[in-house]
Structure 1
């Protein structure tokens, strides 16, 4: 037994599709009458036509009686009566626009079949058409918790008259009794309006800026007030508590503030400068740095004046041993220390070395050498091709072979070992000459350390002229 209460006003009329089952038609008539409505045998001018969707008779009724001239005639499924009874109100036909049903498309992101069926029925009960495709639908319903929903929003946000809504949106509209689309919210694209600053400059900001410029560039004529570096240095001071105000703006904003108001700010800066009276180039001003320390000037090496002929400088011994022809520091270019040895011009010429007259090396003598200079007249040495001195003549049988000729030590044998090369050989010659105070030519001719040691020992034991005089 249906409980009787006036849910439908008596003016609300219903027409039931004639090919519905007789039992269903009888049940609908009883429920409509019990809720206060009227059942008509013909399609009313105003009221509801109860149909079974997706049937031939339902399509025929729509084709014959659905007209924009009759906006108060609504075609609803026969379940509409039960839906109104459950809701406790006469459900308004809100999904209607310009006398036509609003077309809906239920997206596949709503995967539950029962949810899709319930959503479709609720749309039809409120006058909408849930059978449209995504392209022809005015409203696309989707699950907002899926990526498809966001994709649909981005895809159709530029299409006018098309809306992407959540499946819960239908229920909200039914409860409100009106269609209210989700409003668009303005999103700041990130820029600023022309002439508008993100953070407004205050008088205090300008005062700080003028003090900074007055300290760094007190005089405008020096330039640099519109450069980038001045304001970048300002923002680098943000970590200092005294400069906490710097972080209110970017260095570009500080620079643009000065550029756009330079005439007014220059007046303020000039007043600060006149009060503090800083001197030009004072420590801390921008553009002035500590003068670099003067580096000691290097003495330039004397260039070759061209007096060494190519034929002389290309001597095999000079080229192979890399020995400077005019040494100044007593060291060869190869890094081997060679004691300075006085070399006579005749000796150098015999070796094939051309020495300029103005590049004769002066060697400081030891006291023993200075004493021996007094005895040079008596203790002569062999020079060039001159005959050897008396003390240098060898006794018969001394250091000679069977044929009476002197046995010369080979350049390949030095103290029983082969020479390691021209450079090493010359180094040993100079070493022997320096140690026993003989000429390089003499050492080069004999090249026997033991022989020269013996000669020097013999000279050392000879009695001095002063002893004879005593």
Structure 2
């Protein structure tokens, strides 16, 4: 019974028990046409080789061929023939229903990178209704929405991934372009005139290795690179040797030489095992932050995907390669 219900629910491209006809712009490439045809057939539709009197013409509106098809076959005499962007198919599948043609008005491919859909990760904290609305908007504009959990801090300084607010999707749609605006740098005044730069010494290195080895014996990047760890170092009277530098300078010094420091810290910890319940261990205080819930990933090769977290119709389309 459940299988029958699921099968019926998936037939979104049927009307009155008959398959809706689709004509696909022919110069989009065999791989893309094959992929799109399979999605249509899986959900009850039928791909035809000639423009139907009733049904849908799927075009790439930014191509010359797409413009010609729109001019040639748009006719008020055929109110049941609709010309829409090819993203109509995946957007309908995402919505769980066949979208109205009016909902696709003005739609074009915006969220693409090197011909492939941009993966846009929607944080679970957004909630079901907001995520569903954003996912349909993203699909209509050629993107690939994903439901994934992620750490904002992990992606904050990556050059191939971006953390954006939910308003970013609508901003791209309004501008009709996929873009990111880099944050303006602040507090970049540098050293004050007359300030003497104090170099780090080998003694500083050994002190820092012992301090981090005691506070964060395991190589946890989120903790060892945290500014709070070095703020505690500078504020404590227990470490007078740290007073010659401010917390941010200690943090930057560790991060610049992270690879070498981590090796030396591991050796120190082997010689000086730290108890798991030590009160000296550094623990990150959890603070409520304003969520920045959308991550855009232009390259998914190094993203870990949970095995139990799957998106519906998750396969991305091949890149469109217009044939001359």
Name the TM-score class by shorter chain: 0.3 to 0.5
- Structure of greater relative contact order (alpha carbons < 8 Å, 6+ residues apart): 2
TM-score by length of 2: 0.34
TM-score by length of 1: 0.24
